[in-house]
């Protein structure tokens, strides 16, 4: 093991990868109610009761301003076979283009909130704004899960997205994507 | 896709898994400077400048009180071959036992802070407390990365932990663990 002290910035900050990609969906009311999407690899579950989920978004991103206005949003999870779609969503800005139109996306709309979703995800949440925490060069937007969309074939009887049912899209850093291995091990608490 | 509205609690909250496990390490000054560890699957990168990393910890956990006192902490990442060790760390409480002693762990200590680390991780951070955010039934503890420990063999020339170099330990929920598949795809922005 090599140790390095860290200063103001950490350029190659990938040690904790791979992780699933949460595609944020939010209505853009300024642009003829366009649907806006962006992938966020910095995401995490946060609470069971109430059910909370968080995503880190940079103020440089167009999506940031839509979330900062306290709008409800969705997060969606895709399989590895949708890697190109997810990468493409991150490669263009909603400031300039209508991503859904450019990519020919088939949209769905939330049941609880007017939030856009992309057809083809295996799971998605509709989220009510809960809080926004300043964290360095990003903000951490926390939402309360008000609805769950899921493709039941992707989950086992305990609600777990096992790799034999769904090849979740994992991100490694530097434009690298992959699926999980089929191998799993169940380890009960001692 | 099936949609379900969500009330106060979400019992099967695994849709966004799998994710890597961050093993938190913190000194317990009350118990003869014992090293305490707990695995946290709810973790995320948060900022490049300054480099920030967050972990969600429930007040039910013994580790919570040690972190809430504003102590520096470490997070470490292990390969799939260490799944039993990581599961065992989550299956006992530092309130009752000295996990390092019970499990026969070989410890290392931080370069910047007096934080414990477990030999055998492929990467670890030493973190300075940055902030604590209340998020439902957990708190989200955010730390600033002050040192990076890494096994260089686990990372490619860009600093990415590719699956041909390291089989990162992934958690799926319900005691299920697995590795990533060797397959990766590089998708450059359009």
Dump pLDDT digits (tens) for A8-67.
Answer: 999 899 999 999 999 999 999 888 879 999 999 999 999 999 999 999 999 999 999 999
Q: Do B10 and A44 touch (CB under 8 A)?
A: no
Q: Do A178 and B163 touch (CB under 8 A)?
A: yes
* SS3 (DSSP) at B150: strand
Q: Do B187 and A87 touch (CB under 8 A)?
A: yes
Report whether pLDDT(B11) > 90.
Answer: no
Q: Which own/partner pairs from B126-131 qualify as long-range (CB within 8 Å, at least 24 positions apart)? A: B126/B72, B126/B74, B127/B53, B127/B72, B127/B73, B127/B74, B127/B75, B128/B72, B129/B67, B129/B70, B129/B71, B129/B72, B129/B73, B130/A135, B130/B50, B130/B52, B131/A133, B131/A135
Percent of chain A's residues with pLDDT above 90 = 93
Residue-level pLDDT at A30? 84
- What is the mean pLDDT of the segment spanning A90-117? 94
Residue-level pLDDT at B189? 64
Report whether pLDDT(B65) > 70.
Answer: yes
Report whether pLDDT(A166) > 70.
Answer: yes
Which chain B residues are Cβ-neighbours of A187 within 8 angstroms? 83-84, 87, 175, 177
Q: Do A160 and B88 touch (CB under 8 A)?
A: no
The answer for residues whose C-beta is within 8 angstroms of residue A148's C-beta and 6 or more apart is: A123, A124, A125, B3, B4, B6, B10, B15
In this complex, which of A167, A175, A188 lies closest to B187 when CB atoms are compared?
A: A175
Residue A190 burial by CB count (10 A; 0-12/13-18/19+): exposed, middle or buried? exposed
Shortest Cα distance from B121 to chain A (angstroms)? 9
Q: Is the pTM of this model over 0.90?
A: yes
In angstroms, the CA B63 to CA B57 distance is: 8
Widest CA span of chain A, in angstroms?
56
Residue-level pLDDT at A75? 98
ipTM above 0.95, yes or no: yes
The phi, psi pair for A69, rounded to 5°, reads: -75, 0
Which chain B residues are Cβ-neighbours of A175 within 8 angstroms? 186-189
> What's the token pair of residue B122?
């492929």
């Amino acid at each position: 093991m090599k140790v390095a002290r860290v200063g103001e910035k950490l350029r190659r900050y990938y040690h904790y990868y791979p992780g699933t990609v949460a595609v944020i969906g939010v209505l853009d009311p300024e642009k003829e109610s366009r649907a806006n999407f962006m992938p966020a690899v910095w995401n995490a579950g946060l609470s069971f009761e109430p059910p909370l989920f968080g995503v880190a978004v940079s103020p440089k991103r167009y999506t940031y301003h839509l979330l900062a206005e306290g709008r409800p949003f969705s997060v969606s999870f895709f399989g590895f076979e949708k890697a190109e779609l997810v990468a493409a969503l991150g490669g263009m800005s909603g400031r300039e283009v209508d991503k859904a139109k450019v990519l020919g996306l088939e949209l769905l709309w939330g049941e609880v909130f007017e939030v856009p979703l992309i057809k083809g995800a295996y799971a998605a949440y509709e989220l009510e704004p809960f809080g926004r925490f300043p964290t360095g060069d990003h903000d951490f937007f926390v939402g309360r899960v008000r609805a769950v969309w899921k493709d039941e074939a992707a989950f086992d009887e305990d609600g777990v997205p096992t790799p034999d049912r769904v090849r979740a899209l994992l991100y490694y850093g530097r434009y690298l994507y992959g699926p999980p291995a089929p191998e799993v091990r169940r380890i009960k608490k001692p």
